[in-house]
């Protein structure tokens, strides 16, 4: 499967979101791509759902507003979920 990506800027994120490519991505692929970007390139609800499935616990939406929490998710992903 082709690995989808976009440059981390507003214009490219909007273009990627509108393309709908994120709709065909797995939960893992969505988290791998979006978690490490500043610009949201897909529906937030789909990203939220993917995070809950990949990390295996419920995440309240306001938690994504905490830089510390997001950094913990990134660290956990790199240590426990990232494929070689």
Check if the beta carbon of residue 79 is closer than 8 Å to that of residue 60. Answer: no
pLDDT band of 1, cuts 50, 70, 90: very low
What are 54-74's pLDDT values in tens digits?
A: 999 999 999 999 999 999 999
Distance CA 14, CA 23 (A): 14
User: What are the C-alpha distances in Å from 53 to residues 10, 61, 65?
Assistant: 27, 14, 19
CA distances from 77 to 23, 34, 83 (A): 21, 12, 10
């Amino acid at each position: 499967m082709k690995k989808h990506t976009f440059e981390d800027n507003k214009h490219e994120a909007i273009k990627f979101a509108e393309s709908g490519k994120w709709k065909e991505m797995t939960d893992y692929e969505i988290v791998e791509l979006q978690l490490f970007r500043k610009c949201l390139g897909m529906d937030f609800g789909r990203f939220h759902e993917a995070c809950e499935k990949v990390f295996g616990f419920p995440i309240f939406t306001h938690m994504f507003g905490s830089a510390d929490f997001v950094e913990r998710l990134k660290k956990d992903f790199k240590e426990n979920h990232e494929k070689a």
